[in-house]
Amino acid sequence: MDIAVGSGNPVKRRAVERTCPDASVAAVAVDSGVSEQPTGHDETIAGAVIRAERALDAGDYDLGVGIEGGVATFSAGDGTDETDLYLVMWAAVTDGERVGRAAGPSLPLPARIGDRIDAGEELGPVMDDVLGTDDIARNEGAAGVFTGGRLTRTDALESAVTGAFAPFRCELY
């Protein structure tokens, strides 16, 4: 099976390789069709679906996979109107006819990071600035930092990709 991942990021390719160890996985850089910092589930899902479709169309592939990270607001769950900003991740898989979608874990953003995102900055560069790193998104990612390395970005994205493959692996769909 030949799979195209709609990104040149090696972390995203690794997440698909771990989900599909017997497949040939190619990284195909495509535009997500959404903003650099997707906000909300709808925009983040759209970015994943567009990446999957564009990756599939980029060559002779059986499946296209799109992975998109974004931020979304959730209720604090305490009966107040207070909300918290979270890192979210979505994956989409398509064969040109069907599309599977699934979310990975959602991780709360520390206030000083969330405030900068709310002000219009992108998560990756903010994390690099705060940590004094370079290109955290191609390494452990914010997920790795926030969980003390217990959940790397690859791990988190793998869960989303695995879920997005469900319609292609289970006859109940």
Q: Which of these ranges, 62-66, 99-103, 134-138, 143-147, has the smallest mean pLDDT?
A: 134-138
Mean pLDDT, residues 59-85: 91
Comparing 102 with 78, the larger pLDDT belongs to: 102
- Specify the pTM: 0.93
Residues 55 and 30: beta-carbon distance below 8 Å: yes
Question: In 3D, which of 115, 160, 124, 116 has the Cα closest to residue 145?
Answer: 124
On the question of pLDDT at 135 being above 90, the answer is no
